[in-house]
Amino acid sequence: MRILFIGDIVGRPGKHACTQLVPKLREDLRLDLVVANSENIAAGSGMTPQMFNKLRHQGVDCCTMGDHIYRRREILELLNSSDRIVKPANLPREAAGREFMVVQGSNDVPVAVVSLLGRTFMNLKADCPFHGIDRVLQRIPSEVRVILVDMHAETTSEKIAMGWYLDGRVTAMVGTHTHIPTADERVLPKGTGYITDLGMTGPYDSVLGRDKTAVIKALCTSMHYPYNVATDDVRLSGVVLDINEATGRTNSIERISVPDPGEPDSSE
C-alpha cells in the first residue's frame, strides 16, 4: 500500500495547498491513505473543527497534532469524539483526545496512527515518549500490522533515538515540528521507514512559515513584533511510503515537495 504523510500544515496557505494538491496526489501517486500533521493550520497555531472537516473533505484521512493541540478550545469536543485525530500519546491520560487511532485505507487495510511529543525544548510538558509508545503498542490490536508514528519534537537527537528504538516495531516513524525538511529519509535495518522531519506544508518564503521581516526585526531588536503567517512560495511537503501490508514493513520512503499551483483563498 502507499501512504502520504504530510508535514505541519501552516495557516491558510498550507490549508490551500492541501485543498489544491491532495486530491490530485491521491490519484497521481495511487495513494491508499493520507495522514497530515495539522496543529498549525489555524492562523499558524492550533486547529478548528471547520478546518478539520475541510481537510477530510479534500482527501486527508486523519490528522496528528503536537504542542499546539489545545490552543483552540473549540477543538476539545472533536478530539474526544472523532476517530480520525489523535493527541500525543505521552500527554496525561486526563488530557482530551485519544492515544491512537486505527483507520482503513482505500484498500481496506487497517492502519494504526500514533502521535508522540518530544520533551527537549518543548513548552507543552509531556511524559516520557519512549514509555508512552511502549504502552500504546501493547494496546494496538495484533491484526493491525501497519503502524505509523509521528514524533513531534524539537531536537534531531530525540527523533533519531526514537527511530532506532522503534525499528522493526512499527512501519514508519516520521518527525515533525521544526518545519524544516531533512534529507535523511531511509528504511532502517529492521524495516521501519524513517525521516527526522517532514518539513512544512505552507509558505517557504518565510521563517518557519512566519513573515520573515517581522522575525528578523524581533531577533535584531529583542522587541516583540506580530509573527503573521507568510504567503509566498507555498509548498506541500512530506513523504510517500510504499509499504508491504502483509509484513507491516516499509519497502521505500520518498521525500516530496510540491508547489501550490494557485493562490490562497480569503476564507479561514
3-state class of 8 per DSSP?
strand
Cα 36 to Cα 92: distance, rounded to the nearest angstrom: 23
CA atoms within 13 A on the CB side of 235: 19
Q: Which amino acid belongs to residue 26? A: R
Cα 252 to Cα 170: distance, rounded to the nearest angstrom: 14
- The C-alpha angle 149, 81, 243, rounded to 5 degrees, equals 25
114-140 burial, b if ≥16 CB within 10 A, otherwise e?
bbbbbbeebebebbebeebbeebbeeb
Task: Give catalytic residue positions.
Answer: 68
Distance of CA 209 to the CA centre of its chain: 15
